[in-house]
């Protein structure tokens, strides 16, 4: 293309009266022409005055575009000799031949842009785009959160905000919050800890990732409950660990002889309220697990996600509190007690590991949000946290009883209920062969959110059908009519089952 034809090219492509200013259009057209090969390296571009006249634009418009292209390396100005298209064509001869076929796509599968690890992560995703509505499991009643108290505490900090609260964090979290968490855990959960052992994270997923990365090697085995929380399985898998699912019974994760013969690096458990089925790990099994972990140097990761809400009997002590060999990494979250969007969780690690976890947290995630930590620390220290949890416990107990009654009323003996002693959800067991995925999809069309229980199992052969039902965020009055609608879908599916039998 010559100088003349550059003017022609621009004249035909400029859009007069459009929304993009002329100088940006000119810049974009020249850049695209150079990158696309229509305007070749070494070509002299028309002087700005001449081009401005040809295009009927101001000279400033042209110099803006030229200056920008010179600054980005597309054009070069030669003193006393005009402006030229720079030679930025990559020298292909210097590049090794491109890989072809399967090797080019690594193990991400033919045509995939993702790595094999990325593909594996996304093959079992569980996060739902719908997060609010009856009967979404695991969601507290966000509408009851004491916004006014929180905003007063927040305003108090922002009025004279300490600069330290607006910089990066130190990896461990704001000390007064760690102190408040440690004090709460000692009294409410019998966790054996000091504030120095508490690392504040942005939730359980991040805590699991930190533990997996710092304490495990790629390919190490991690025992997980089957069924288990999809998030646990996905995070540890994407961290390079190999999950080995072990079945769950009424005493929690089973520890079969065969598995015990080959100690893993990690054991991930939810001993206070097994997720999703609900049993509490028996004392005998807790002791066996801890003894085994101590003997074989296994890390036990205790996910204590919702045990502030216990409806029958006194709160259960944590597994960590029973451990005298520092093999337990304890995980907690404010997602259930306050609200999930807060994204604050915490881990309690053995004292010797705490400074290194803090450093790694800063290195990997560049932590911060200290202003939010400060508000939460005040919220806890001034008694609002325990008072909110107390109120919510009462409210959720009422809603749980209402849902249990609705289930009995609508489905009688057809369905079983498990996991209703604690937390924010229960698991509704349905007869073998029921298509729980179809029920969940049909219910969603009616605006009712549930999760199919079978989706939580790693082993399809042991998957039991059912529905995960959250009740905490559903008003007591609306539980019976909404469950009646859901029961209609369930009965419809059960009819298919009967006709097939």
Ligand X SMILES: Cc1ncc(COP(=O)(O)O)c(C=O)c1O
Helix (H) or strand (E) holding 172: none
CB-CB contact of 132 with 479 (8 Å): no
The minimum distance between CB 93 and ligand X, in angstroms, equals 50
Residue 256 CB, shortest distance to ligand X, in Å, is 23
Comparison of 216 and 231: residue with beta carbon closer to ligand X? 231
- Contact with ligand X (CB under 6 A) among 305, 396, 471, 483: 305
Give me the least distance between CB of 173 and ligand X, in Å please: 14
Q: Binders of ligand X: how many residues, by CB under 6 A?
A: 13
Which CB, 23 or 454, lies closer to ligand X? 454
Cβ–Cβ contacts within 10 Å for residue 129, how many? 4
**Interface mask (CB under 6 A) for ligand X, residues 99-138, using x and -?**
---------------------------------------x
Nearer to ligand X, 203 or 264 (CB): 203
Pick out residues in 194-233 that bind ligand X (CB under 6 A). Answer: 203-205, 229
Note whether 311 and 421 are within 8 A (CB).
Answer: yes
- 478 alpha carbon, distance to own chain's centre: 30
- CB of 22 or CB of 424, closer to ligand X: 424
Spell out the residues 6+ positions from residue 138 whose beta carbon is closer than 8 angstroms to its own: 306, 335, 336, 340, 424, 425, 470
Q: Are 117 and 238 in contact (CB under 8 A)?
A: yes
Nearest approach in angstroms of CB 286 to ligand X is: 18
Q: Which of residues 132-151 bind ligand X (CB under 6 A)?
A: 138
- Give, rounded to a whole angstrom, the gap between the first and last alpha carbons of the chain: 76
Q: Which residue is nearest to ligand X (CB)?
A: 203
Q: Exactly one of 340, 355, 431, 480 binds ligand X (CB under 6 A); which one?
A: 340
74 or 334, CB closer to ligand X? 334
The distance of closest approach from Cβ of residue 331 to ligand X in the complex, given in angstroms and rounded to an integer, is: 7
One of 216, 278, 345, 420 touching ligand X (CB under 6 A): 345
**C-beta of 27 vs 275, nearer to ligand X:** 275
Beta bridge partners of 299: 266
CB of 245 vs ligand X, minimal distance in Å: 15
Task: Tell the smallest beta-carbon distance from residue 316 to ligand X (Å).
Answer: 16
Q: Which residue among 333, 337, 369, 370 contacts ligand X (CB under 6 A)?
A: 333
Residue 2 to residue 174: CA distance in whole angstroms: 64
Strands (E), 169-281: 198-201, 221-226, 242-249, 252-253, 266-269
Contacts of 331 (CB under 8 A, 6+ apart): 204, 207, 208, 211, 301, 302, 303, 304, 305, 345, 346, 347
Question: Per the structure block, which two tokens stand in for 363?
Answer: 């290195």
Contact positions with ligand X (CB under 6 A) in 9-28: none
HEC string of 299-360 equals EEEEECCCCCCECCCCCCCCCHHHCCCCCEEEEEECCCCCCHHHCCEEEECCHHHHHHHHHH
Span near ligand X by CB under 6 A; candidates 164-172, 333-341, 405-413, 433-441 = 333-341
Cβ 199 to ligand X, closest distance in Å? 13
Binding residue for ligand X (CB under 6 A) from 223, 275, 385, 396?
Answer: 275
Q: How far apart are CA 382 and CA 152, in angstroms?
A: 12
Question: Does 350 contact ligand X by CB under 6 A?
Answer: no
Two structure tokens written together for 173:
């979290």
Tokens of 231: 């998030």
Nearest distance from C-beta of residue 206 to ligand X, angstroms: 7
Between 68 and 209, CB nearer to ligand X: 209
Q: Give contact residues for ligand X (rule: CB under 6 A).
A: 138, 203-205, 229, 270, 275, 303, 305, 333, 335, 340, 345
């Amino acid at each position: 293309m010559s100088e003349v034809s550059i003017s022609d090219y621009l004249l035909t492509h400029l859009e007069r009266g459009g929304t993009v200013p002329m100088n940006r259009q000119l810049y974009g057209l020249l850049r695209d022409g150079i990158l696309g090969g229509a305007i070749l390296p070494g070509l002299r571009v028309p002087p700005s005055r001449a081009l401005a006249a040809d295009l009927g634009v101001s000279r400033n418009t042209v110099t803006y575009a030229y200056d920008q292209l010179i600054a980005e390396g597309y054009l070069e100005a030669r003193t006393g000799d005009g402006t030229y298209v720079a030679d930025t064509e990559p020298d292909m001869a210097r590049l090794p031949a491109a890989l072809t076929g399967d090797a080019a796509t690594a193990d991400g599968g033919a045509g995939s842009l993702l790595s094999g690890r990325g593909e594996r992560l996304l093959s079992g995703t569980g996060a739902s785009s719908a997060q609010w509505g009856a009967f979404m499991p695991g969601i507290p009643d966000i509408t009851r959160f004491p916004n006014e108290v929180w905003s007063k505490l927040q305003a108090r900090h922002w009025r004279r905000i300490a600069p330290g609260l607006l910089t990066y964090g130190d990896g461990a979290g704001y000390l007064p919050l760690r102190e408040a968490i440690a004090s709460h855990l000692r009294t409410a959960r019998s966790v054996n800890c000091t504030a120095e052992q508490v690392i504040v994270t942005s939730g359980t997923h991040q805590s699991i990732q930190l533990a997996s990365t710092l304490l495990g090697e790629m390919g190490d085995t991690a025992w997980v409950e089957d069924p288990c929380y999809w998030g646990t399985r996905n995070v540890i898998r994407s961290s390079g660990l190999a999950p080995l699912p072990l079945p769950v019974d009424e005493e929690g994760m089973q520890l079969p002889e065969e598995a015990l013969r080959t100690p893993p690096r990690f054991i991930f458990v939810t001993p206070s309220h097994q997720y999703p089925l609900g049993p509490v790990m028996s004392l005998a099994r807790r002791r066996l697990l801890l003894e085994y972990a101590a003997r074989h140097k296994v890390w036990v990761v205790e996910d204590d996600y919702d045990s502030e809400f216990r409806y029958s009997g006194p709160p259960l002590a944590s597994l960590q509190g029973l451990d005298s060999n520092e093999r337990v990494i304890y995980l907690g979250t404010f997602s259930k007690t306050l609200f999930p969007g807060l994204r604050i969780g915490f881990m309690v690690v053995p004292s010797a590991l705490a400074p290194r976890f803090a450093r790694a947290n800063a290195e990997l995630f560049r932590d911060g949000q200290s202003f939010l930590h400060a508000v939460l620390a005040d919220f806890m220290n001034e008694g609002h946290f325990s008072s909110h949890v107390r109120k919510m416990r009462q409210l959720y107990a009422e809603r749980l009883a209402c849902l249990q009654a609705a289930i009995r009323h609508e489905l009688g003996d057809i369905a079983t209920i498990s996991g209703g002693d604690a937390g924010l959800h229960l698991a509704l067991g349905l007869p073998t062969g029921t298509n729980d995925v179809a029920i969940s999809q049909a219910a969603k069309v009616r605006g009712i959110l549930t999760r199919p229980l079978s989706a939580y199992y790693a082993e399809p052969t042991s998957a039991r059908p059912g529905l995960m039902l959250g009740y905490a965020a559903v008003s007591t009055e609306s539980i019976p009519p909404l469950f009646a609608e859901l029961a209609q879908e369930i009965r419809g599916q059960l009819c298919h089952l009967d006709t097939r039998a």
